[in-house]
Amino acid sequence: MENLTNLDLMIDPSLKVSDDNNEEKFLNNPIVTVGPVTKQYLKAVKSYITDGNRFVFSDGASKVQVSVISDEIIRVRMAPQGTFLADFSYALQPYDHVITEVKFIENDLQYLISTPKVTCAITKADFLISFIDRDGFLMSSDAKPMHYEENVQFGGYYIYCSKTCQTTEDFYALGDKATEFNLRGKRMVLWNTDTYAFAKNQDPLYRSIPFYLSLNKGYCYGIFHDNTFKTHYDFAVESMDCTSFWSDGGELNYYYIHGPQMVDVVRRYSMLTGTHQMPPMWALGFHQCRWSYYPDKKVKQVANTFREKKIPCDAIYLDIDYMNGYRCFTWNERYFPDPKNLLSELNDIGFKTVVIIDPGIKVDENYWVFKEGKANNYFCRRCDDYFMEGNVWPGRCQFPDFTNPKVREWWGGLFQGLLDAGVDGVWNDMNEPAVFGSGSFPDDVRHNFDHHRGSHRKAHNVYGMQMVRATYEGLQKLQKNKRPFTITRAGYSGVQRYSSVWTGDNVATWEHLKLANVMCQRLSISGISFCGTDIGGFTGEPDGELFTRWIQLGVFTPLMRAHSAGDTREREPWSFGEPFESICRKFIELRYKLLPYLYSAFWQHYKYHLPVLRPVVMLEPNEHINHFREDEFSFGDSILVCPVLQPGVANRKVYLPKGTWYDYWTNHKYKGGKEFVISTPLDSMPIFVKGGASIPEYPVMQHVNEFELESVTLKTWFSEMEEKSIIYEDHGENFAYKLDIYLEKTITVRGTNGSFVMEQTMHGMYTPRYEKYEHIVYGLPFKVKKVIVDGKEIKKYSFDTTNVLSFTTTKQFKKIEILA
């Protein structure tokens, strides 16, 4: 065995971060003696060195670094010619990962790197890497040694990794793909693309999330390949027993994320790449969007109609026509002569205003944004130094390089004027980036890449994320303690730290309604919980039924926004007349009742890394048939929904996972673990609550904070098993929760055939203003004789003909005993 020295662990000094004007060369492969390479596979391991939790193995030419990130996360990198690239990531967040113990063992055949949860084995003879759980179950193994091929045109390497695929293994996640939920048998590409009216199976789409899940016999692991170049996936297509991923450049750099529970893999991915911040409460209300509402009178008229018709709504959007010639950060003076006044009038009736901002800056010497960008050299250039120019809405445009920290800071500051006018949120569109005609930037556009430099090949997939990051960070700075609201179309892993997302330009068809459901679930398990679709379909004309069913699904997507293209008929919840208007109202009202529940689910996302939407396969990964279910999902901990996805159906099949479920509308009790036929008249959809759940509900408000709450309704469903529910409350609009000023309550319940006990514990420093809970208890299997609250019997309680019990307590109750 040759011995490497510790120096081999280091990054080549020529790769160190350099400033823009620094003449230092930045080379992928500084070893001049190496000739051109065609596809090369790693050969037998010849040597290794260890350094704490990092291990570097070499076959004499290439090196592989294996590092333990946490007990459950192991990182693998490959340097084809032995020099690792500078270690930089837009995706990762700082996080205190826990490593309990790392053991290194060498035997005749392998090197074994073990944590208490997982072992990474590297075979000596052929450099295959595999991961084994502590009971010896083989989670994942290389089907071939990692390989690479020189990219003659651009330098660097195409890098490849292939893992064996079992017959019982299926694949999930990968962001926003418009295809079946289960990705086995599919090839997919990650390259952010503006895809107007995308079709089912069209690929790539708007976002690049290089994270997939493998599920085999109930065992789940994830692979997060943190590489921003165009990346390809093959899930058992080329060969039934092999799954591969490869990128057109950069480093083979993946994180093996151990489960074995699917939900834990997603949680751990969120620990690596972050979660959403707590959204302002109003952002969880209903949003009305349209390309475009103008002039100002039209905006007011739409907002007023919501109030007149008593359909709740919190946000109205201004699409591109609010600007002067589509110049960002300006107003069209003819349509919006007095924006400040308009926005304050909207605010008076409880509307927040969200405005669109695109990345293209009009080439116009009389436009201050262009002038500032030009003077400071903030716009992207081609490799031969020409500016990157292309046509978008404003006409000829140049584009800020959002991968430059200075540019991001400048851009963030540009929002001052919009904030002064009263704007409450920002919508980032076209940030794939999209360019008319050519589609996007050419490959040779250069980027700062936070001083690591790169062509558009490397920066393309992060461009949109860095734009919305600039937006979010700018708003956060300008608004001080107020939570920003942002929504973006493009993104890369980690984008959730800065924004919500919508799925782009979908179509008003039933097929797209089904895709909307699948795509939101997929985004949610890909780390992006705050997602939604254009309710009703962006392009095309929905009929009243399709629109209404879409509103119903929208209640259960974390972002609930109706939107439509400019060439479609009006598309507000009342546009289709009765009975659609009343049904839409009923469901938007349901959304508002559930706000405290959804807010609590967001808290669990933020704090405990749980996705807000959880597909059935995540709830019951052991049932093989669940690998193929994609309609039902759980919304937070306790509500299971199944949208109606076909026209004219009087009922539909719904699978309920094992356990006790109650129909939200009728309180009919079900024993899960099988499918049921549920009736689906247009004014209803299948919604079920888990036995033992406590769900807080607000009274219907026309917008968040319409009035001061006097009480919160706490609905609780009987269970014999002990069940816990988390309820979260805070100031709603500021960052006090980061200083622990919040209230997290746990309601624990358990029942027998003669008693039902509810206990509440609280933790945190926030005090809500309301005083009381109005309790409603469903499913009690006995006739109530006594209700005891904190040791004292209360006399005032009532039940209806179906034995639904109602009573009132203070919000601080500790223990409630309901006795036969």
Among 64, 252, 284, 320, binds ligand MIG (CB under 6 A): 320
Nearest residue (CB) to ligand MIG, 291 versus 472: 291
The angle, 0 to 180 degrees and rounded to 10, between the axes of the packed helices 510-525 and 544-555 is: 10
Query: Is 505 among the residues known to form the active site?
Result: yes
The tokens describing 581, both together, are 């208007």
176 binds ligand MIG (CB under 6 A): no
CB 183 within 8 A of CB 174: yes
CB 722 within 8 A of CB 469: no
Site residues for ligand MIG, 137-166, by CB under 6 A, read none
Question: Which stretch of DSSP H or E encloses residue 469?
Answer: helix 456-478
Q: What are phi and psi of 421, to 5 degrees?
A: -75, -10
Show the binding pattern over residues 412-441: x = contacts ligand MIG (CB under 6 A), - = does not: -----------------xx-----------
The angle, 0 to 180 degrees and rounded to 10, between the axes of the packed helices 339-348 and 296-308 is: 0
Nearest residue (CB) to ligand MIG, 244 versus 506: 506
State the minimum distance, in angstroms, from the CB of residue 429 to ligand MIG: 5
Nearest residue (CB) to ligand MIG, 377 versus 391: 391
Give CA–CA dist 634/688, Å, rounded.
9
Give CA–CA dist 705/465, Å, rounded.
31
Neighbouring-strand partners of residue 361: 398
State the minimum distance, in angstroms, from the CB of residue 288 to ligand MIG: 13
Q: What is the 3-state secondary structure (H, E, C) of 201-232?
A: CCCCCCEECCEEEEEECCEEEEEEECCCCCEE
State the minimum distance, in angstroms, from the CB of residue 6 to ligand MIG: 51
In which order are the strands placed within the sheet that holds 797-799?
694-697, 711-717, 772-778, 805-810, 797-799
Residue 108's CB: how many other CB atoms inside 10 A? 5
Residue type, 664: Y
State the minimum distance, in angstroms, from the CB of residue 205 to ligand MIG: 11
State the minimum distance, in angstroms, from the CB of residue 286 to ligand MIG: 17
State the minimum distance, in angstroms, from the CB of residue 389 to ligand MIG: 18
Nearest residue (CB) to ligand MIG, 197 versus 709: 197
DSSP string, 413-469: HTTHHHHHHT--EEEE-STTT-BTTTBS--TT-EE-TTTT-EEHHHHHHHHHHHHHH
State the minimum distance, in angstroms, from the CB of residue 595 to ligand MIG: 25
Nearest residue (CB) to ligand MIG, 133 versus 541: 541
State the minimum distance, in angstroms, from the CB of residue 208 to ligand MIG: 17
The 3-state DSSP class for residue 684 equals coil
CB 83 within 8 A of CB 30: yes
Site residues for ligand MIG, 61-90, by CB under 6 A, read none
The 3-state DSSP class for residue 169 equals strand
Nearest residue (CB) to ligand MIG, 72 versus 429: 429
Question: How wide is the angle at C-alpha 433 spanned by C-alphas 339 and 567, nearest 5°?
Answer: 55
Site residues for ligand MIG, 472-531, by CB under 6 A, read 489, 504-505
356 binds ligand MIG (CB under 6 A): yes
Residue with nearest beta carbon to ligand MIG: 291
The 3-state DSSP class for residue 287 equals strand
Nearest residue (CB) to ligand MIG, 208 versus 725: 208
Cis, bond preceding 140 (omega within 30 deg of 0): no
Active-site entry in 226, 234, 432, 589:
432
Among 169, 296, 319, 581, binds ligand MIG (CB under 6 A): 319
Site residues for ligand MIG, 526-585, by CB under 6 A, read 563
What are the helix (H) ranges across 526-619? 544-555, 580-593, 595-608, 616-619
291 binds ligand MIG (CB under 6 A): yes
Give CA–CA dist 690/669, Å, rounded.
10
CB 392 within 8 A of CB 358: yes
Nearest residue (CB) to ligand MIG, 357 versus 780: 357
Question: Which stretch of DSSP H or E encloses residue 344?
Answer: helix 339-348
Nearest residue (CB) to ligand MIG, 320 versus 693: 320
Nearest residue (CB) to ligand MIG, 136 versus 437: 437
Give CA–CA dist 678/650, Å, rounded.
9
State the minimum distance, in angstroms, from the CB of residue 304 to ligand MIG: 23
The tokens describing 705, both together, are 């904070």
Nearest residue (CB) to ligand MIG, 321 versus 774: 321
221 binds ligand MIG (CB under 6 A): no
The tokens describing 720, both together, are 């014999």
State the minimum distance, in angstroms, from the CB of residue 114 to ligand MIG: 48
Give CA–CA dist 632/720, Å, rounded.
25
Nearest to 541 by CA among 567, 516, 568: 568
Query: Is 432 among the residues known to form the active site?
Result: yes
Q: What is the largest CA-CA distance in the chain?
A: 90
Give CA–CA dist 362/683, Å, rounded.
48
Q: Which residues contact 506 (CB under 8 A, 6 or more apart)?
A: 197, 198, 512, 515, 516, 533, 534, 537, 538, 539
Cα four-point dihedral sign 672, 595, 506, 609: negative
State the minimum distance, in angstroms, from the CB of residue 319 to ligand MIG: 5
State the minimum distance, in angstroms, from the CB of residue 534 to ligand MIG: 7
Active-site entry in 505, 572, 589, 620:
505
Nearest residue (CB) to ligand MIG, 566 versus 754: 566
Give CA–CA dist 411/425, Å, rounded.
15
Active-site entry in 226, 429, 589, 631:
429
Catalytic residue list: 429, 432, 505
Binding residues (CB under 6 A) for ligand MIG: these are 291, 319-320, 356, 429-430, 489, 504-505, 563
